[in-house]
Every structure is written in structure tokens, then in C-alpha cells.
Structure 1
Amino acid sequence: MNIAFYGSSLLSSYWNGAATYYRGLIADLARRGHQVTFYEPDAFDRQLHKDMEAPDWARVVVYPATEEGLRAVVAQAAAADVVVKASGVGVYDDELLDGVMTAARDDAIRIFWDVDAPATLAEIARTPEHPLRRRLPSLDLVLTYGGGPPVVERYTAFGAERCVPVYNALDASTHHPVDPDPRFSADLAFLGNRLPDREERVRRFFLEPAAQRPDRSFLLGGNGWVPNHVPANVNAIGHVYTREHNAFNVTPLAVLNIARDSMAETGYSPATRVFEAVGAGACLITDAWEGIEMFLIPDLEVLVARDGRDVADHLDALTPQIARSIGQAARMRVLAEHTYERRGAQVDALLHQTAAMKRERNAA
């Protein structure tokens, strides 16, 4: 199928946590014969911080973040068999949703793909006239990259015909074990941008344990963190490019995952960094959230922390041998059950099922 995909960015992971997710899924859909054109705005300096060039498995259209640029890419939706509007594009989101869904052919599959469902659902709950809320009954599919039953139930209650989680996963061709890199040496590392709905949890799960263990070394990657506002044993290194994620994950004794507030409250929302880290063979410590057992077995494949004290206790108990054992078990589990090949097969089946349903409906 010819898929027009309107998202934040395929080419840049700069302030764009969905990049890995988009890349893994779209690359697999291309291997299954779909032709994907990804439309991304030239915004937020992402094009200045690209970490990949346009791939051979997708056509990428970078458009000016202006009304004129918007009109040009909206018109191209009319040529697609599948029109996807993702959440969090960042510029003209509402206009883009209305524009591409209006331009789509009657027989085209219309999809809203939510990469931050808890935040989106909270927004449309506050705004009865929200463009997405008005559009939901006319969409063929809502896909989310997390959220599980709570998100499916809420989207259905708002009028979505069908909502299906398509979880994050591992692309083993890009995230895999590599040699350690001394730049990323630490006892515990965390990678994530500084965001309002994550900052307090980072303080509790990462910065407080660091302050409690001054003899340990901690590594903090991501945009927005101020080095002189963290404990002295925390090395804040700023943005870490995707090409460096493997070394970042494989070098420390352990890697920490911290969900944003809304994701932790909703549950069933493993971040991309979960699969990136274990794909590299890292020993992962994660904050506690409902549904973790769907993806990794606590104490065997992942260490779960209810608070900062648990993080510090896990770190005290870890030896290199135990860390390797946990990391290897997690990697084997993810390779067996949580790859983008599996997620791509899921989306491919959904597209063909939905196309058949539309044909039957139109023929009736």
C-alpha cells in the first residue's frame, strides 16, 4: 500500500523520542512491500541535528513549518491508500489532522497514530470541541505505542471505532551489543530529555540515589539538564545521538528507565529506551508501572524500583556478573517476542483487515 505518514521526524531524534519507533516500524513495513512517504516539518532545529540521512526504505519530505508548507503536504494525502497522522508533530497539529483526513480519498484508510496517548486523552477530555475528538468516529483506526487496556477503553469511549496498541520494540539491526566506550563509564546511567512531566520522577529515581551514594558514578544523558544543578557525582553530557545509544547502554553497570508521569500512571507503556537498552545487553532498572510483566520478568530480566531507595539498593546488590546475567536474559526475551518485525507484522495485518472491511462496507 502507498502510505502517507505525517509525523515529527524520521531523520532526527533531537527532542524526538519517537524516532526509533518510527524507524523500526516503517523499515519493516517497507520490507513487506508497502511504500511509505514520511512528511516531517523543518522545526525545533531537528534538521540541524539529523542522525540519519533519508533511507532507501522510505521517501522523506521535509517541509517548511509554515502555512504554505502545510498546504503543500496536505494536498499529497489524496494520492495515498493509507493516511497516517501521528501525534506530537509539534507545528500545526490540529490543522494537519483536519487537512490530511479531509484530503484523503473515500477508500483510503485513515489512521491517527498516538505516540503519547495519556497526554492526548487528557487534552481531548478537557476540550469537547478538540479536532481529534470530532474526528475520531470517522477514523478507521487509532494506533498507540502504549497504554494497554486503559487507553483502548478511553479511546473507544470517545468514539474511536477501533483502537489497537502497537508497542515499542527492538530493531536488532540498529540496537545491539558493542564494545564499551570509556566516555559512558558509570555505575548507573539514565538517558532522557528534561521534560516537566518527568523531572520530578528523575529527581526521585536518579538524582536522589546519586546524592545518597557519593562513592558511585552516575551518567545523565539528554537535552535540558544543567550540569551544576545535579550532584557532583553525576556527569550530565547533554544530547546523545542515536548512533551512540548502544555504547551508552552497554558501558555502565546498569541503565535506568524512568517513565513520564502520565505513562507511569497509565501503565503498559514501555519506552523506546527499554528495548534499546536491553537490545544492547544492558542490565535495566525501571521504575514500577503496571504491565511490565508483559514485556520483561521482574528480577530475572529487569529490576523494578518503587522509589529511589529501591534504585540505590539494586545498585548496591549488583555485581558485573549479575548485571550481565540480567542483561542477557532480557535481550533473549526481547529478541524472541518484542522486535519491530513482530510489530510490523501486526500493523500489516491490521492494514489488510481494515482494507477488506472498508471494501465490504462500500459494497453493501
Structure 2
Amino acid sequence: MTGPLDIAVFGLSLSSSWGNGHATTWRALIRGLRRAGHRVLFLERDMPWYAGHRDLTDPDFCTLDLYDSLDTVLRRHTWRLRAADAVIVGSYVPEGIALIDRLAALGPRRLCFYDIDTPVTLARLAKGEEEYLARRQIPLFDVYFSFTGGPMLETLRRDWGARRAEALWCAVDSDRYRPTGDAADWDLGYLGTYSSDRQDALKRLLIEPARRLPARRFVVAGPQYPEGIDWPANVERIAHLPPDRHASFYSRQRYTLNVTRKDMAAAGWSPSVRLFEAASCGTPVISDPWPGLHEIFPDAVLSAETPEAVVALLESQPEQDRRAVAARAQRIVAEKHTGMARARDLVAAFAADTAPRTSLRNLERMRE
């Protein structure tokens, strides 16, 4: 495949990073595509909870269209969706099931799914919960891009009928996520929206160490945390942190914490966008352990399962070792996990895709 590509994306959000990690993932990837000369149309459902928290309204790296209904957006862009080199639907897109069926019926050149939540998606489908993707739709996609790699890719092909499953991890815009030189204000910090299945790990790996180390300073940034959480006095809370403040936030921490949702930790090979962002800022990462962590970041991420392990790192790790692990992670991200690198991965996957387009109608005929 040569020459610039025309790509249409239906994603959860590009305009607002409030309460989600999708926005910065899409921004890094699409900026990489734009720098490589490709053209992207991003189609986002205009949702009220994002409308009040928009931190990107007029991107200079793609066309952003906020739509109010499927009828509206499909009518407005039918010609481009049919002519595009690829149409990509992301996870958690509102009315995703209806959208995928209607896109398949249009017969685009290439229809793909980018699952930024693969283990959660498959766990829900296994229980019969179909919110943004139906199980029957997985074979429709020319490529099922998964932010989880490792054994999950074979599972998608073998057990779920994916025609092709390719890892497309999150990525970071290294121009925006880099050390700022700010002095350290906190010994350990965490950036993430509240999630009930991450909260136990947050308690174990940050809140409890904060209780044991009252002279140390901690910070948790992110929205939607319940009022009843008993935060120690030395834990600062920031309700929402827009992306233009992320680099400074990470740079002001001696260490940053990465905690993983349970389904993703069980599947492994699911590095979060926050992990890449912190590493790109030169901040050493302490993560809960999961399969693939040290293969993706060999000798470059610290892992801890207990409060004692976190306390030991904060109190006893030599400064030269702290700086060395951060430098290794920063190099790995710069080489393999920038938006430009991920854009190359995406385009390479398209170039390797030689299978004919399978329309919804043809698929139904195959099943009869």
C-alpha cells in the first residue's frame, strides 16, 4: 500500500479526555497518521457529559464532526465512508451495534474495529452483555485491532471468529509528554478515572502506603471518585486534569502508579495509555504485576503487589536506580510506542490485508 490514506474513525471521544483514556489514545495515533501524510475524519457522538468538559474543539490534525444521531452522520458522510481506505469503529461508541451493522451494509473498502478495552469487551460478551459490539459482528471486520496483545489475539481468532486480530497498543504523543523539569511535589501519584475494579489495587498500592508514610506526599487525579473514600491527609486530590497539564503532573512525581482493571490484568499484555505517558515523561512507574508487563518493558517498570513493596521502593531504592529504570522506560516508549510508531503499525496492518471485503449480507448468506 502506497500513498496517503483516507481513514474514517467512529470513536468514543476525541474532543474530551474527561472520564476516559480513549481521547489521548486517539489523539496520539491520529497525530501520527497526519504527520505521515494520511487524512482522518473523526466522528464522535455529541454526548452531554463530554460537552461540558471539552479540551479539544478544533484539532489541526484531523476533521472532527460531532453528530447527534446515526441517521445524521451516515447521511452526511455516506460517500466518504464508502470511498475511504478504512473505516474504524472504536469500543464504547454509543449505539455501536447498530452503527456497525449499517456500516457493513454500506460496503466500505475496509471495516475495522479498534478495541481499547478488549478483555472487558470479551468478558461482557461471554456473559451475553452486548453494549457496543455484538458477538455475531466480530467476523465482519477485516481487522480486529486489540489494545491487548499476547495470547488474546489467538483467542479472538479461535474462539470469537475474528478474521484477523492484530495488537494495536495505546500510544503517546511524545511532543506533549516529556519531562518538564518541574521539581518533585509528590513521592507517588496516580492519574485515572475512578473504577470499582481498580479501587482495591489503588487502596493497597497508594492509600495504604500513604497511611504508613505520613511524612511522604501522595496525589490522585481523576474524576468520579465517590464521596465516601477515606483519603489520608497526605493524599492530595485533583478532580480532573486536562491533557495539557499531564506532563507537568507526571514530572512532579518521584514515582507514578499504574493499576490495571481486573479483566485486563488477568489477560495480561494490556499496557494502559497512562503507563506510556508517564514513562515518556521520565517518571519511574510502579505497576501491579500482570503477564507481559516485563516483556513490554524489560527492566524498565517496577512491579509491586503489596503496600510493603511500595513502601520499600519509596523509602529505600537508591536514586541512581530510580533514575535508571525511568530512563530505560523512556527509551522504550520513544522507540516503540509513540503516535508515529503506532500509525506505522496501523498502516502496515492495512498493507498486509489482502482478503476481500465481507459484507453483512454476504456473511448472512454464508451462515445459511
TM-score by shorter chain over 0.5: yes
**What letter matches 1:109 in structure 2?**
R
- Residue in 2 that maps onto 1:258: 259
Offset at residue 271 of structure 1 (A) = 0.4
Residues 78 and 251 from structure 1, CA distance in 2 versus in 1: closer, same or farther, beyond 3 angstroms? same
**What is the alpha-carbon distance in structure 1 between the residues aligned to residue 75 and residue 228 of structure 2?**
42
Picking from 39, 46, 53, the partner of 1:42 is: 46
Q: Which amino acid aligns with 1:98?
A: D
> How many angstroms apart in 1 are the aligned matches of 2:215 and 2:157?
47
Structure 2 residue runs of 5 or longer lacking an equivalent are: 358-368
241 and 181 in structure 1: CA distance in 2 versus 1, 3 angstrom threshold = farther
* Range moving further from structure 2, 145-154 or 279-288: 145-154
Does structure 1 retain, via aligned residues, the 8 Å contact 2:30–2:339? no
Match of 1:362 in 2: none
Percent of pairs identical after alignment?
31
Paired with 1:313 and 1:199, the residues of 2 have a C-alpha distance of 21
Partner of 1:340: 339
The whole-number CA distance in structure 2 between the counterparts of 1:271 and 1:342 is: 16
Amino acid at match of 2:297: L
After superposition, the Cα gap between the structure-2 partners of 1:311 and 1:204, relative to the gap in structure 1 and judged at 3 Å, is same
Amino acid at match of 2:199: E
Check 1:155–1:238 CA distance in 2 against 1; reply closer, same or farther (3 A cut).
farther
Give the aligned partner of residue 361 of structure 2: none
- Partner of residue 191, structure 1: 191
Answering whether residue 86 of structure 2 is matched by residue 102 of structure 1, we say no
Which of 45, 51, 60 is the equivalent residue of 2:55? 51
Q: Which residue of 1 aligns with 2:25?
A: 21
- The aligned amino acid for 2:324 is S
- Give aligned pairs, total: 350
Q: Alpha carbon RMSD of aligned pairs, Å?
A: 2.3
Bigger mean CA offset, 217-226 vs 128-137:
128-137
* Matching residue within 93, 98, 114 for 2:96: 93
Match of 1:308 in 2: 307
Counterpart of 2:317 in structure 1 is 318
Q: Could you give the per-residue CA deviations for residues 182-227 of structure 1, whole angstroms, max 9, x where no partner exists?
A: 7xx1110011110122122212222122122222111010012248
Encode CA deviations 1:34-53: one digit per residue, 9 max, x unaligned: 22100011114223222223
Q: Distance in 2 between matches of 1:129 and 1:200?
A: 27
TM value normalised by structure 2: 0.88
Cα deviations by residue, 1:96-118 (Å, 9 ceiling, x for unpaired): 2222222233xx10101101001
Change (3 A) 1:37 1:233: same
Q: Return the TM-score normalized by structure 1.
A: 0.89
Q: Secondary structure of the equivalent of 1:113?
A: strand
Structure 1 SS opposite 2:297? coil
* Contact 1:74–1:103 (Cα < 8 Å) also in 2: no
- Between 1:153-162 and 1:213-222, the stretch displaced more is 153-162
Note if contact 2:20-2:193 (Cα within 8 Å) is conserved in structure 1. Answer: no
Structure 2 counterparts to residues 256-295 of structure 1, below 5 A = 256-295=257-296
How many angstroms does 1:246 deviate by?
0.5
After superposition, the C-alpha distances for 1:86-131 in whole angstroms (9 at most, x for unaligned) are 1112x212222222222233xx101011010011111222229885
Contact kept, 8 Å, 1:136 with 1:158, in 2: the verdict is yes
Q: Say which SS state the counterpart of residue 249 (structure 1) adopts.
A: helix
Structure 1 residues 26 and 129 mapped into 2: Cα distance closer, same or farther (>3 Å)?
Answer: closer
The residue number in structure 1 matching 2:207 is: 207
